Amino acid sequence: MVRRIDAIEKVTGAAIYAEDIFLPDMIYAVPLFAPHPHAKIISIDTAKAKVVRGVVGIFTASDVPGELRTGGVVQDHYIFAKDVTRYSGDVVAMIAAETLEAAREARDKVDIKFEPLPALFSPVDAMKPGAPKIHPERENNICCHYPVRHGDTDAGFKKSDKIIEREYKTQHVEHAYLEPEGCVAIANADGSVTVRGGMQHPFTAQKFTARATGLPVNKVQIIQTTLGGGFGGKDDTISIICARAAIITLKTKRPVKIIYTREESVRESYKRHPFHVKFKAGVTKDGKLQALEANIVADAGAYCSTSPFVIWRPTVQCTGPYIYPNVKCDSYAVYTNNTFTGAMRGFGSPQINFAIESFIDELAAEINADPIEFRRKNFFTQGCTTHTGQKFDNHKVAIAEVVNAALEKFDWNEKFGKCSRGAPDANGNYYGIGMACSYRGVSLGHEGKDFCAAIIKITPDAKVELEVGVAENCQGLKTVMANICAKELGVEVEKIIYKDVDTLSVPDSCPTVASRGTLVGGNAVIDAVRQIKEKMAPVAKNIGAHSSFEDIVSACHSMNIELHALGTWQGPPVSWEETTGQGNAYFTYVYGCQVVELEVEGKSGKVRVKKMLGAHDMGKAINPEMAKGQIFGGMVMGMGFGLKEEIIHKEGVIQNLNFDKYRIVTSAEVPEMEALIVENRDPAGPWGAKALGEPVNELMGGAIANALYYATGVRFRETPIKAETIRTALSLRRSISD
């Protein structure tokens, strides 16, 4: 068993989070939010607030020395709302004071005069011609659009015996990381700025901060503190907060601390995109899929953030692991005045897979086929060509393998026969099982350049300093990197001194997202070790075969052979043609299958999940225990998406800002779980490893919807599937056999 290298400091409380940093002369800053989701700001009167004892300064859009707008893809996100607010989490001002209490007291005294503007809370309204424009510089409210044109869907429908159309909808989901956003910024004597904080990707924070302060990138140092969870959510918002902290420290010349409360965090930070998916498929009597038309509309909220990438991935994966010879897909992300949406574990895939896997079961039901046999008939096969024209011949196409492994372990056949199918037992309860499976592109694909670097320095006392450009997000990255490094070098892992990411040290290694950490970081580490070994080899040869690592290091040192190396890795080529949506979207793919067993209490509609199983081909499990942890955690998070979690907006204002009303799954509901590791090593990965963090979070929603169907006979097409909805549906129920 591998021990996490950061475990002891975390469990003993010694780990330093942003909130733990205290510096002499430090001031505190708090955000003042938009008074209305879409309004014209007429005036901001700070007179009463400024005189609150302890207030150091109030900062607004006019205090931004650099660019007011930022963003990773499109620069449309205002660091401070100026003239207009676009969602209720827009920050109009930051109030800095000697104490947190004073800052909050002053915040209550800022008087904002505003005039509400017509607001848009649904993508459907926002897409209507003539709808008010949320970003006036744009042509309309469509943030981005991705098409795929493959084959001829009309011809495909003609060949079909049955044409089936369905719609599915998903909700806004909060990441619910344990640690709300926080950072501390310090203005240095040379005019540069250092920000320490809990960001998932220090290089984004660096770029955002440089842009907003007007400083060159190399005058902005970002150092990651221990991160209290991210799930994709510690990117844009925390980077913007870092930029604001930097602006304030540069003006006041005092260290500035910003630690969000849960309410502030939930109000400002981005959410998972709600999707509205429309599918139309044609299938022959004997169960062969002929054509698919998919229309995906996602609510981008007020700002673009990573929306183009978040809808591009489900566009590439819109068929699921099934061959449709003819596909037409159009995906849109649309601006509204809701909370903006962005990256979250899965990146569009939990939403699209809920739709795909529900739909596949619905298609099977429509042609009276067994849902598993129906899948098998249409699965991707080795060497097949997908709807983006990519030939799957460079990796093992393992969809059938993971599904077989999962179903066998779960006793699927036996349990499937026992499903209630709409006929409750004597107590009025229902039993059901359901499954979902997927394929998923690894790493960024065509989204962006795919690069990673790692630095190894071996000190004369034979300690190995390791720094990797991808960041610890609590997923265990440091442990994985340290273990790869130790094993490749042939030393004990205790020799590794792991250095947290410092943007002024290691090269920008693209974001720690897309489940790419192990793959890209591991490859960069292996490359660095290779260089070190090349330097050590001749020396080792000279001093004898049985010499220890220490001896060789010492010999190298005395011979002035410096043992440091910069390892790099560059992703294999990918391609994409924007107008037709054809190309080799990702350089390799992973496959997964999850199964769930549940009971529904008919009278109350309450669902009790009894068992979940996940089987995932991750290439190679570098640390099997942590891999299982990912599978368990991903399934539980998926259970929350399927059954419980939902950010509720009312006229653009979030109604559940804290965990008393935003309900994630607690340990009390976590059922028995099983994880199956499937290993088909990939030539692109370190030791053959591919990806795992997101695939495990993209299936449970669909599996639950399917299980609920085989239990109750009712098809639920909208997440979360709450007790209230189930109860209402059951009172109108028809059994499956009807």
Per CB under 8 A, the list member of 128, 391, 530, 603 interacting with other proteins is 603
> Rounded to an integer, what distance in angstroms lies between the CA atom of residue 646 and that of residue 132?
27
Residue placing its CB nearer to other proteins in the complex, 99 or 548: 99
Residue 650 burial by Cβ neighbours in a 10 Å radius (0-12, 13-18, 19+): exposed
> Using the 8-state DSSP alphabet, how is residue 339 labeled?
P
**In angstroms, what is the minimal distance from the CB of 298 to other proteins?**
25
Spatial CA neighbour of 194 closest among 224, 169, 165: 224
d(CA 609, CA 594) in angstroms, rounded, equals: 13
Per CB under 8 A, the list member of 158, 666, 672, 683 interacting with other proteins is 666
DSSP code at position 322? B
CB of 669 to other proteins, least distance (A): 5
Question: Looking at 648, 651, 672, 735, which residue binds other proteins (CB under 8 A)?
Answer: 648
104 binds other proteins (CB under 8 A): yes
Task: Give the separation between CA 420 and CA 429, rounded to whole angstroms.
Answer: 9
Nearer Cβ to other proteins (49/79)? 49
Q: Of residues 189-208, which lie at the interface with other proteins (CB under 8 A)?
A: none
- Stretch touching other proteins by CB under 8 A, among 470-478, 541-549, 665-673, 689-697: 665-673
Min. distance of Cβ 368 from other proteins in angstroms?
A: 34
Retrieve residue 650's tokens.
């009312």
Say if CB 610 and CB 636 are below 8 A apart: no
β-partners of residue 298 are 275, 333
Size of the site for other proteins (CB under 8 A): 23
Nearest residue (CB) to other proteins, 597 versus 645: 645
Query: In the complex with other proteins, which residue's Cβ is closer, 3 or 659?
Result: 659
> Judged by CB, which is closer to other proteins: 133, or 606?
606
> Which member of 659, 672, 683, 735 binds other proteins (CB under 8 A)?
659
- Choice between 104 and 557, CB closer to other proteins: 104
- Running DSSP on this structure, what letter comes out for residue 63? G
Contact between 111 and other proteins (CB under 8 A)?
Answer: no
Q: Output 541 or 661, the one with its CB closest to other proteins.
A: 661
Distance from CA of residue 92 to its chain's centroid?
27
In whole angstroms, the minimum distance from the beta carbon of 577 to other proteins comes to: 46
Task: State the minimum distance, in angstroms, from the CB of residue 636 to other proteins.
Answer: 12
Decide whether 140 or 656 has the Cβ nearer to other proteins.
656
Q: CA-CA-CA-CA torsion for 82, 88, 89, 91, nearest 10 degrees?
A: 30
Pairing relationship of beta strands 275-283 and 289-301 according to DSSP bridges: antiparallel
Alpha carbons within 13 angstroms on the beta-carbon side of residue 570 total 2
Return the bridge partners of 97, or none.
28, 55
Stretch that binds other proteins, among 383-391, 478-486, 621-629, 658-666 (CB under 8 A): 658-666
The answer to whether residue 426 forms part of the interface with other proteins (CB under 8 A) is: no
CB of 718 to other proteins, least distance (A): 15
Q: Does 252 bind other proteins (CB under 8 A)?
A: no
- CB of 251 vs other proteins, minimal distance in Å: 27
- If one asks whether residue 669 binds other proteins (CB under 8 A), the answer comes out as yes
E strands, 583-661, where? Answer: 589-601, 606-617, 649-650, 653-654
**Which listed residue (190, 286, 414, 660) binds other proteins by CB under 8 A?**
660
CB nearer to other proteins: pick between 284 and 655:
655
> Applying CB under 8 A, which of residues 548, 661, 683, 735 lies at the interface with other proteins?
661
* Distance (Å, whole) CA 240 – CA 204: 9
Scanning the structure block, which residue is given the tokens 């895939």?
Answer: 349
User: Which one of 656, 674, 718, 736 is in contact with other proteins (CB under 8 A)?
Assistant: 656
Which residues lie closer than 8 Å to 51 by C-beta, 6 or more apart?
A: none
Rounded to the nearest whole angstrom, what is the least distance from the CB of residue 248 to other proteins in the complex?
Answer: 23
Q: Name which of 1 and 668 has its Cβ closer to other proteins.
A: 668
Min dist. Cβ of residue 606 to other proteins (A): 7
Regarding 109 and contact with other proteins (CB under 8 A), the answer is no
- 695-734: contacts with other proteins (CB under 8 A): 723-724, 727-728
> Measured in whole angstroms, how far is the alpha carbon of residue 568 from the centre of its chain?
24
Cβ–Cβ < 8 Å for 322, 375: yes
3-state secondary structure at position 217: helix
Task: State yes or no: residue 665 binds other proteins (CB under 8 A).
Answer: yes
Q: How far is CA 492 from the centre of its chain?
A: 33
Q: Between 108 and 550, name the residue whose CB sits nearer to other proteins.
A: 108
Structure tokens belonging to residue 621: 């499990």
CB of 155 to other proteins, least distance (A): 47
- φ/ψ of residue 737, rounded to 5: -75, -15
Looking at the chain, the number of H-run helices and the number of E-run strands are: 19, 27
Looking from the CA of 313 toward its CB, the CA atoms found within 13 Å total: 33
- Parallel, antiparallel, or unpaired: how do β-strands 496-498 and 464-468 relate? parallel
- Return the residue of 606, 610, 681, 717 that touches other proteins, per CB under 8 A: 606
Nearer to other proteins, 615 or 704 (CB): 704
Which position has the token pair 């998919």? 294
Minimum Å gap between C-beta 644 and other proteins is 6
Tell me the C-alpha to C-alpha distance, in Å, between residue 238 and each of 80, 176, 213: 14, 14, 15
Name the amino acid, one letter, at 255.
Answer: P
Q: Convert residues 115-134 into a mask of x (bound to other proteins by CB under 8 A) and - (unbound).
A: --------------------
Pairing of strands 606-617, 589-601: antiparallel
Residues 6+ apart with CB under 8 A from 425: 431
Sole binder of other proteins in the list 9, 655, 683, 735 (CB under 8 A): 655
Q: Which residues bind other proteins (CB under 8 A)?
A: 104, 108, 603-606, 644, 648, 655-656, 659-661, 663, 665-669, 723-724, 727-728
